[in-house]
Amino acid sequence: MENNIVALLEKVNNEILASESTSHINEVRIKYIGRTGLLTNMLKELKNLPSQERPTVGKFLNEARITIENLISNKLAELIVYEQKKKEESELLDISLSLPSFKRGVLHPLSIVKSEIIDIFTGLGFSIEDGPEIELSKYNFELLNIPTDHPSRAFCDSFYISDNILLRTQTSGIQARVMEKTVPPIKIICPGKVYRPDDDATHSPMFQQIEGLYVDKNVSLADLKHILELFAKKFFTESTKVRFRPSYFPFTEPSVEVDLSCAICGGAGCSLCKGTGWLELLGAGVVNPIVLDNCGISSSIYNGYAFGIGIERATMVKYGIPDMRILFDGDVRYIDQFR
């Protein structure tokens, strides 16, 4: 019996030493000293031994049991530490690993130019105003002195929703909305999308404008020229010049087309300016007194200037882009050049 116990102890010891996980060491515990474990069963057999052998064998068995318990709890403590360490190691972040590469987006050239123009004018004291893209013809046309028989009022030139509601064809309507509710001085820019049924290399059914309006006492065409010269120098270069050509808009009197000296050739003539040395950029003028009166501002006290810049046109001129449709293609290879 004693020999059996010694052999068993040795077996247990080897199994404990070979255990590599807490779950395995638990199996060893159940196998030998669990309720029906091998050593437990030997203890149960004690009663069948001759009475003189029982005390010595019993003592031996109990000592063996204590030895096994100690071996198991020591090994268990060791394995708990080991497993915790392994878990921590597996959760460790390797910050030296390089990330999969990803491409950072860039601003669209139209967004770049739009923010640039807004920055220039807000820097000159203009505040930003907004208006609805679905507009009443009252603001898009009537208050702006665009009579019913004006060509741009024909249905084919505008996207109408009903007789007197349309997708705005110009941001000029915002100036009427602002004038109607504001006592001058007014000094605003109104950026926004506008819609017209045109589609070719220099026109798109949707494009963006920035409207400018300054209304105060004693505002003149010279003030308009001054502010546009400041704009031109910041938008292009310090040496950029501004040229006014007579034009016609119903809401301004006099009206002008504004050209900037070509930023590429400096006025000598190149392919961007088609040899003229000038780039046509915007429309402007002195606010027609009829418009002021229409919007509740007395033209006998106040006057003002207004201008309208096409953002697509400004972007094409600034970057020498020949076809407006490139700007709407969404080709990331093209846009990426503006990084």
**Residues of the shown chain interacting with ligand DAH in the complex, contacts defined by CB under 6 A:** 170, 172, 211, 249, 252, 283-285, 306-308
- Quote the least distance from Cβ 308 to ligand DAH, whole Å: 2
**Cβ nearer to ligand DAH, comparing 42 with 311:** 311
Report which residue's Cβ sits closest to ligand DAH: 308
> Taking a C-beta distance cutoff of 8 angstroms, is the pair 125, 216 a contact?
no
- Quote the least distance from Cβ 306 to ligand DAH, whole Å: 3
The closest of 149, 152, 180 to 166, measured between CA atoms, is: 152
**Cβ nearer to ligand DAH, comparing 22 with 247:** 247
- Quote the least distance from Cβ 218 to ligand DAH, whole Å: 18
**Cβ nearer to ligand DAH, comparing 212 with 267:** 212
**Cβ nearer to ligand DAH, comparing 284 with 317:** 284
Query: H/E/C letters for each residue in the chain?
Result: CHHHHHHHHHHHHHHHHHCCCHHHHHHHHHHHHCCCCHHHHHHHHHHHCCCCCHHHHHHHHHHHHHHHHHHHHHHHHHHHHHHHHHHHHHHCCCCCCCCCCCCCCCCCHHHHHHHHHHHHHHHCCCEECCCCCEEEHHHHCHHHCCCCCCHHHCHHHCCEEECCEEECCCCHHHHHHHHHHCCCCEEEEEEEEEECCCCECCECCEEEEEEEEEEECCCCHHHHHHHHHHHHHHHCCCCCCEEEEEEEECCEEEEEEEEEECCCCCCCCCCCCCCCCEEEEEEEEEECHHHHHHCCCCCCCCEEEEEEEEHHHHHHHHHCCCCHHHHHCCCHHHHHHHC
**Cβ nearer to ligand DAH, comparing 129 with 211:** 211
- Quote the least distance from Cβ 253 to ligand DAH, whole Å: 10
- Quote the least distance from Cβ 219 to ligand DAH, whole Å: 13
- Quote the least distance from Cβ 209 to ligand DAH, whole Å: 6
**Cβ nearer to ligand DAH, comparing 231 with 249:** 249
**Cβ nearer to ligand DAH, comparing 262 with 287:** 287
- Quote the least distance from Cβ 266 to ligand DAH, whole Å: 27
